[in-house]
A and B are shown apart, each in its own frame.
Chain A
Amino acid sequence: AQSVTQLGSHVSVSEGALVLLRCNYSSSVPPYLFWYVQYPNQGLQLLLKYTSAATLVKGINGFEAEFKKSETSFHLTKPSAHMSDAAEYFCAAFYNQGGKLIFGQGTELSVKP
């Protein structure tokens, strides 16, 4: 079955530290991959997307993600965390069957001053 796994339901970093949020997908055929951010009581905002054009994808707010087919991973990184980055982050995969996005369980990012 198609699935997306996010390792770590909660990640805490200090302001200015590296942010690394992990995502793995299960498929022999690489899907389209996305990272979304959700602030409290809000909908999902698209951070970035992988569509096979380039393995390193840059998104908004200084985030980027690297697609590694050999590891079936699409980890999200940011060199220096800011307090405003505190939110819930979701990795999602789009498979062509049925048009649906499959989401991971989410990772809550906390940023300490």
Chain B
Amino acid sequence: ETGVTQSPTHLIKTRGQQVTLRCSSQSGHNTVSWYQQALGQGPQFIFQYYREEENGRGNFPPRFSGLQFPNYSSELNVNALELDDSALYLCASSLSGTGAHEQYFGPGTRLTVT
């Protein structure tokens, strides 16, 4: 069984640039959620994708967008990067429709905006 993988591991961008982060879900999982974890904080929910559609969204502006592909992998795109976007971005996969709500997390992508 393959776990959740994310790429890249680390990324440095300049304010105003755009970034794309990638996530491959655990085998057998059909749902992907993205979280932002600022230093010293708990993860904050960005959005969730199920069947290639956004299934829920947290309190993040529209410049945070995502995609889910037919193989259930996902991308997180952030436009017009701001310094406060510097954080660890976590992807989590789960299996919707079974009543099991646990989410399994990848190792994260550390984004630094300068």
Contact B101 A51 (CB under 8 A): yes
Contact A104 B57 (CB under 8 A): no
Instruction: Tell yes or no: B96 within 8 A of A by CB.
Output: yes
Tell me how far the C-beta of B107 lies from the nearest C-beta in chain A, rounded to whole angstroms. Answer: 4
Contact A49 B31 (CB under 8 A): no
Known: A44-B90, A98-B57, A99-B96. A49 touches B42 (CB 8 A): no
**A100 interface neighbour in B41, B56, B104, Cβ under 8 Å:** B56
Instruction: Tell yes or no: A103 within 8 A of B by CB.
Output: yes
Identify which of residues 20-53 in chain A touch chain B, using a CB-to-CB cut-off of 8 Å. 32, 34, 36, 41-46, 49, 51
Contacts of B43 in A (CB 8 A): 44, 90, 101, 103
The binding surface of chain A is classed by DSSP as strand
Contacts of A11 in B (CB 8 A): none
Tell me how far the C-beta of B42 lies from the nearest C-beta in chain A, rounded to whole angstroms. Answer: 3
Q: Which residue of B lies closest to A91 (CB)?
A: B42
Contact A44 B105 (CB under 8 A): yes
Further pairs besides A42-B108, A90-B42, A100-B45: 16, Cβ < 8 Å: A43-B90, A43-B106, A44-B43, A44-B92, A45-B105, A46-B105, A92-B42, A98-B56, A99-B33, A100-B56, A100-B58, A101-B35, A102-B45, A103-B44, A104-B42, A105-B41
Residues of B within 8 A of A (CB): 4, 6, 31, 33, 35, 40-45, 48, 50, 55-58, 90, 92, 96, 99-108, 110
Residues of A within 8 A of B (CB): 4, 32, 34, 36, 41-46, 49, 51, 90, 92, 94, 97-106
